Amino acid sequence: MPEIEFFATQVEIGSFVKSLLLVGCEFIPDLHYAVPVPEVTADFDRISSLSPSLAVFLISRRDQIVSPLQLREVRREEKHFFYVDARTGGPTMLLYWGRDAQSDGCQYLSSTSLGIYPWYTNSVTREREKPSLDFRQFYNLCTKEVRRGRRKIKPGVREFWVSPNVEELVKEGLKLVGLEEFSVSQILAGSPKKRPKS
């Protein structure tokens, strides 16, 4: 799945969400629903109230939707609920809302990511389709918004984008989840330069 990962404070994630709302995005919380109708909201207060307990949101724009989202049913003896099938209907983007936490006297921050699936199932025709060029271009505009004001780091195999604010917090002792084995200087060194061809 094409995705961009970035380390951001809760305030920075909120600003990013607001920028998506300004361009017509709607958020579908990845909840367990009692009825087969998903919540679709463009209300920032509602989205931010869900974010402390909910990490995943689907994101759509009405002008980009090709087929309706579908919910799947889970029926067990002890529980019965519906959830949105991220790969049926849409297309949609997938936002994983990063977390900050404290443990053993250290502050930790997990990455936030925005991605799209390379294909989805059209809920009307049941055919597997690639997201349209318009949708992919819109996704690319959203990733540009992530990169704006941030710089790329790649201390290991994966690359991340970090803001100056997060860089300062790392210097003050913030641990980035998944990068704990790297030193502060390794994390903040940026991307390794490509070797010139000989």
Per residue, the 3-state secondary structure of 15-82, as one string, reads HHHHHHHHCCEEEEECCCECCCCCCCECCHHHHHHHCCCCCEEEEEEHHHCCECCCEEEEECCCCEEE
d(CA 90, CA 121): 8
Residue 129 and residue 120 in contact, taking contact as beta carbons nearer than 8 Å? yes
Q: Which long-range contacts (CB under 8 A, 24 or more apart) does 137-141 make?
A: 138/61, 138/64, 139/2, 139/93, 139/114, 141/23
Q: Which of 53, 20, 38 is nearest to 142 (CA)?
A: 20
Copy the structure tokens of residue 8: 């951001």
Residue 186 DSSP SS3: helix
- For the entire predicted model, the pTM comes to 0.91
Q: Is 50 exceeded by the pLDDT of residue 198?
A: no
If pLDDT is split at 50, 70 and 90, which confidence band does 148 have? very high
Q: Give the mean model confidence (pLDDT) for residues 36-62.
A: 95
In 148-195, alpha helices (H): 164-171, 184-188
Between the alpha carbon of residue 93 and those of residues 53, 116, 140, 183, 189, the distances in Å are: 20, 5, 11, 33, 30
If pLDDT is split at 50, 70 and 90, which confidence band does 192 have? low
- What was the pLDDT predicted at 196? 44
Angle at 61 between CA 137 and CA 82, to 5 degrees: 125
> What digits encode the pLDDT tens for the residues 56-74?
999 999 999 999 999 999 9
Containing 183, the helix (H) or strand (E) segment is none
Q: Give the mean model confidence (pLDDT) for residues 155-184.
A: 95
Residue with tokens 């000989």: 198
Amino acid at 33: Y
The average confidence (pLDDT) of the chain is 93
